[in-house]
Amino acid sequence: MLEVKNATKKFGELTAVNDLSFEVSQGQVFGIAGPNGAGKSTLYNLITGLYPFEGSILFNKKEIRGFAPHAIAKMGISRTFQIPQTFPSLTVEKSIGVGNHFGSQEGYDPSYVDNILEFVSLEDKRDELTGQLNLLDKKMLMIGAALATKPQILMLDEPMAGSNAKEILALMDLIKRINKDMGITIIIIEHFMKVLTELTQKLLIIETGTEICCGDPVEVTNDPRVIECYLGDVNDKN
Amino acid sequence: MLVEIIDVIISGMINGSVYALMAVGLTLIYGVSKAFNFAYGSFYSMGGYVAFMIFGAHINNYILVFCLAAPILFLLGYLIEKALVAPLRKRDDWEIKVMMITLGLALFLDNSYQVIFGARMKSLPTILEGSIELGDFILSYQDIIIFIFSIGGILAFRWFLNNTRTGMSVRAVAQNPAGAQIVGIPKEFVFSATFAISTVMVGMGGILLAQKYFVTPMGGWDILVKSWVITAFGGMGSIKGSLYAAFIVGMLEAFVGWHFGMNWTLIALFAVLLTTLAIRPQGLMGKWG
């Protein structure tokens, strides 16, 4: 469904993403992990058209390199950010409506917006301003706005960051439902290994923009190279 | 004395309403792109000269003049943005580069006006002759219409922002450009459309005020300064703040002009701006950056 081929991104002397290649299949939950500064978010920015780069990215066999971010969103690739990006003076309902208005190829559908509000458990807060929401609700809203674009792939950037154990469970449940109930392919960047091993079917580990290994999450997390470069010590991996 | 004070208040309200129309346009550009448009005053003069040319083609109905001028100004604003501003956005520190290029554009436009239309001031016909007498007060139809058009323009703009698809995209980009793009909003189009809409707003202000203050090649600088004072005073990027600030500035200008003379108005405006910013750097409605 998504094929990244020899993607390279340099910022001056710094190579943030180095000749990276991988494939994500339809319906899969694909994990990406690596130490801070490994190039994970930069990789998202390449896929979603925010940065120009060398190499190629195919979505449903079609080259998407060079397309603007809004065009890629319309094609069916949506994403969230590590820090929730909301529209502070819009209500929850309008914020999700914006995603449906502009991102969905079928145009605005109020009943679909209602469904999304219910799906992300924000139907009771539909008239609240997004700037007043707590962190978990802001994350739910950001995911809701991304879902409102009716994506085929949803890319989540560290959705668990800053969340407590209860919130992590709520977010994991939501991600599973998005994948199973809505049939949306998911790519997730995350630091919590337990989350990745439980949610994903395939895991890519990168360091300084270069692939360390890619494959079954349990095997990957036991790979000595990963333990050395990312997990530090075998006993710390959980 | 009372009659004079009420006259001054009315004058302040009328000027304030036109300033509001123009300052909201400048606030809009800053709110969306975080870049300051130094050519804004020259677009004010552009409105006056476009209307001057339309009248020159023997179209003497102001409604028709507005209907023709609005799309012309929109198109000019859109093309200028696409040709000069949009290419800069691909570069680092593009906000500073936009300030520099719009400053250059202002000088280019003002000198072009001088070459094309001459240095002498141009006048536009009065929109409607006559006046209403209410006891001791005399209110010209021209002032009433200027006020109604300005307030109507602001209300139409507010409706556009809240009720149209493009308006929704403008609000979204102003609040979160990255988030807006990711949900499918074409940010580049929004930047260009915003620039064009603000050109229409200040150009319309130019047509409305040209009946009273004439059109001159360099006349836009005073408007640029006033619009900037209002925008900073109200809170950079805050439309509500600009509206309040525009009427305060209109009123202050009228009272200072009446009591101390017109030479003191700009000094008074800057004194109020500096005092406000010293106490409250984010301006009246608390937006900055």
The answer to whether position A175 is within a domain reads: yes
Give A92-138 pLDDT, tens digit per residue: 998 899 889 888 888 888 999 999 999 999 999 999 998 888 888 99
Q: Do A149 and B184 touch (CB under 8 A)?
A: yes
Given A98, A146, A149, which is nearest B172 (Cβ)? A98
Please, are residues A221 and A32 in contact by the beta-carbon 8 Å criterion?
Answer: no
Indicate the pLDDT class of residue A148, thresholds 50, 70 and 90.
Answer: very high
Q: Would you say the ipTM is above 0.90?
A: no
For residues A72 and A165, membership in a common domain is answered with yes
Query: Which pLDDT score, from 0 to 100, does residue B82 have?
Result: 94
Same domain, A201 and A144: no
Write out the residue range of the structural domain in which residue A223 sits: 2-76+152-236
Inter-chain CB proximity B181 and A69 less than 8 Å: yes
Instruction: Tell me if chain A has a CB within 8 Å of the CB of B164.
Output: no
What are phi and psi for residue A214, nearest 5 degrees?
-150, 135
Burial of B218 (0-12, 13-18, 19+ CB in 10 A): middle
Q: What three-state secondary structure class fits B44?
A: helix
pLDDT reported for residue B128: 85
**Contact criterion met (CB < 8 Å) for B187 and A102:** no
Residues A159 and A229 placed together within one structural domain of the fold: yes
| Separation CA B223–CA B202 (nearest Å) | 9
Structural domains of chain A, count: 2
- pLDDT interval class at A222 (50, 70, 90): confident
Interface of B with A in 16-75 (CB under 8 A): none
| pTM: predicted TM-score of the whole model, two decimal places | 0.82
Q: Looking at the complex, report in whole angstroms how far the Cα of residue A71 sits from the nearest Cα belonging to chain B.
A: 7
Domain check: are A200 and A162 in the same one?
yes
Q: B289 pLDDT band (50/70/90 cuts)?
A: very low
Strand, coil or helix: B78: helix
Task: Check CB contact under 8 Å for B168 and A94.
Answer: yes
The reply to whether A146 and A194 lie within a common domain is: no
Is B175 in Cβ contact with A81 (below 8 Å)?
no
Q: Which residue, of A106, A135, A150, is where some domain finishes?
A: A150
Return the residue in A70, A72, A80 with the most chain B beta carbons within 10 A, the one to mutate for interface testing: A70
pLDDT digits (tens, 9 = 90+) for B93-114: 888 899 999 999 999 999 999 9
pLDDT band for position A230 (cuts 50, 70, 90): low
Chain centroid to Cα A225, Å, comes to 25
Is residue A26 assigned to a domain? yes
Residues in Cβ contact with A36 at an 8 Å cutoff, skipping those fewer than 6 apart? none
Domain membership of residue A221 (yes or no) is yes
* A103 with B184: Cβ contact below 8 A: yes
Contacts of B175 in chain A (CB under 8 A): 87-90
- Say yes or no: A71 and A174 in one domain: yes
Look at residue A81 and tell me if it is in a domain: no
If asked whether residues A50 and A112 sit together in one domain, one would say no
Contacts of A73 in chain B (CB under 8 A): 181-184
* Residue-level pLDDT at B7: 87
Average pLDDT in the A29-34 region?
92
Q: Tell me, yes or no, whether A82 lies in a domain.
A: no
